Structure 1
Amino acid sequence: MLSPLDFLKDLLNPDLGFLPKALVIAVMSSIVCGVIGCYVVLRGMAFIGDAVAHAVFPGLAVAFVIQGNLVLGGAVAGVLTAILVAVFSQNRRIKEDSIIGVFFVAAFALGIVVISRAPGYAGSLQQFLFGSITGIPDEDIYTVAITGMILMLVVFLFHKEFVAVTLDRETARSTGVPVFALDLVLYVMVAVAIVISIQTIGNILVLALLITPAAAARLLTDRLGVMMLLAPVIGGSSALLGLYLSWSLDLPVGGVIVLVATAVFLIAWFFAPRHGLLMAYLRRRAVPIEGESDDERDPLTDASARDLIGTRS
């Protein structure tokens, strides 16, 4: 196994130019997914994240066939499908998860059909599904960096509104918050965050980058601000360590990054200071203090949308 110093030498080796590119894209996309993933976890949108990962596939396939930009192609497909879901979901006779299942699976099927017409179909499909650290063009680094900064700007501008809609949709709507527009923006953000991550981690595993770091951060803190700082740190660190391990042991980079992030989640699940399994066991064994209740309330979900909107500047 390579030492960290040897890995650093490989990163600086001009003959291995694809390696630092993969590291930069993996870390940047992990940070972006960590932030966006906080909203996904709080809203219970994991299924939407998985569906968006399928939805971007036809755009990637079309971009590959016409030799275009993969990130741009995937973003267009994901955004269009997200808009369709947001619009059709307004009909309350059919639940949102059913609408998602119809459109996103159809989009993935379309991608399979499109890419089957391209030369080298099998190899291309494997790269899309499982990721690859080779062949990343320089322009993709700039695309991911610029896209990530735009997403972070949107988070900064609409954070209170996103949280308000997440915690109490009806209260948010009654205070004049444009719930439908915010749903649409969040769907689009999820789609774009997934697109910029597919290059290294692949279409199948990309959901883990969106969910796992945010879920681990959720266990480690009761404060949303801290959660949104911890999640990208966990995601970026998982990408760095995962790439190092995959390069040292000659293993698939996407799979290793996901396993590292999952290991962090499991550590948090068992040993988190307040919500870990170990602390819950110790609390049950301890003699209850008079006046305390074993029924802990979650400060994140206790906040009201009206209070959040009332503090909007």
Structure 2
Amino acid sequence: MDILLTPFEVSFVARALVAGAFAAVLCACIGTWVVLRGLAFFGDAMSHGMLPGVAIASILGGNLMLGAALSALVMSIGVVWTSREAKLSQDVSIGLQFIGMLALGVVIVSHSESFAVDLTSFLFGDVLGVRRDDVLIIGIAALVTAIACWILHRPFVALAFDEQKATTLGMRPHWAHLAMLALTALATVASFQIVGTLLVFGLLIGPPATVTLVARTIPAIMAGAALLGVTQIYAGLLISWYAETAAGATIALLSASTFFVSLLVKRTVYRVRSSNSNENSSH
């Protein structure tokens, strides 16, 4: 039993667990809608699009999370504006913003040799370096997101499954879509210090996608994703402690692996049941 608890007796590991749990709940709430709405590409692009803001904040000695938030805001506005003004699909708009923001970030970083270490932390996270203030910020973000998802539940459901019907019912899907993008940006910004921008995508998409394989209702998917995410944070920290691997990367790898293993199990069970059913019908 001690082997499961000993690492968390260390203060910074325990703090990482609490922060990670908040991030898991935060990502589960909005990640469920990202999966159902098909916004995975936006979540991925957003995680890269924060680089210019973080780079500038680091060079100027400012708050990295504030820099990331400003970049996320600019990118969200850019996606909506480009889609509307250029009459292009959202994927094209997101792709253009993604390329532009990432390239700008790399250009800024290339002029700052001292940013190399900070860039590694930005990309891959430093979950064991989370401070108490970071835990508070992530906790508040998780609470705000959970409340927003509860208030906007009906508009989000209508938007995810039938946008035209949402318009007919007067639910203003355009505003619901903007709110969904904003909450996705919030989750990405608040979580990037836990697992890094390249790995936050796993926490945002992995648990909800895994739970959709077995759950049938949105509340069940959201609750299951939160529970699974917290479990993966705990297991990832535990594995990284004993295996001496990067904590953020371990958590993200565990998230992706869980999905593929679950999918394989589901397909195997389905084939076995189909085979048994065919045998019974033949008799």
Fold agreement, TM-score > 0.5: yes
Pairwise CA distance, 1:288: 9.2
Q: Identify which of 152, 169, 174 aligns with 1:175.
A: 169
SS for the counterpart of 1:203 is coil
Q: How does 1:1-313 map to 2 (within 5 A)?
A: 3-9=3-9, 11=10, 17-91=11-85, 93-118=87-112, 120-271=114-265, 276-285=266-275, 286-287=277-278
- 1:226 is matched by which residue type in structure 2? A
Change (3 A) 1:215 1:288: farther
Pairwise CA distance, 1:119: 5.3
Of residues 262-271 and 58-67 in structure 1, the stretch that sits farther from structure 2 once superposed is: 262-271
Of residues 228-237 and 17-26 in structure 1, the stretch that sits farther from structure 2 once superposed is: 17-26
Contact kept? 1:71, 1:143, Cα under 8 Å = no
CA distance in structure 1 between the aligned counterparts of 2:112 and 2:93, rounded to whole angstroms: 30
What's 1:302 paired with? none
Gaps of 5+ in 2: none
Of residues 25-34 and 66-75 in structure 1, the stretch that sits farther from structure 2 once superposed is: 66-75
Change (3 A) 1:34 1:168: same
Contact kept? 1:58, 1:107, Cα under 8 Å = yes
SS for the counterpart of 2:117 is helix
Identity of aligned residues (%): 30
SS for the counterpart of 2:216 is coil
CA distance in structure 2 between the aligned counterparts of 1:20 and 1:70, rounded to whole angstroms: 23
Pairwise CA distance, 1:241: 0.7
Contact kept? 2:18, 2:135, Cα under 8 Å = yes
Contact kept? 2:53, 2:67, Cα under 8 Å = yes
Change (3 A) 1:287 1:173: same
CA distance in structure 2 between the aligned counterparts of 1:115 and 1:165, rounded to whole angstroms: 38
Give the paired residue count: 279
Q: Deviations over 1:222-262 (max 9, x none)?
A: 12111111011111110111011112211011111012222
User: Following TM superposition, where does structure 1 have runs of at least 4 consecutive aligned residues deviating by more than 4 angstroms?
Assistant: none
TM-score for both structures, normalised by structure 2: 0.91
Of residues 105-114 and 86-95 in structure 1, the stretch that sits farther from structure 2 once superposed is: 86-95
Q: CA RMSD in A?
A: 2.0
Change (3 A) 1:204 1:102: same
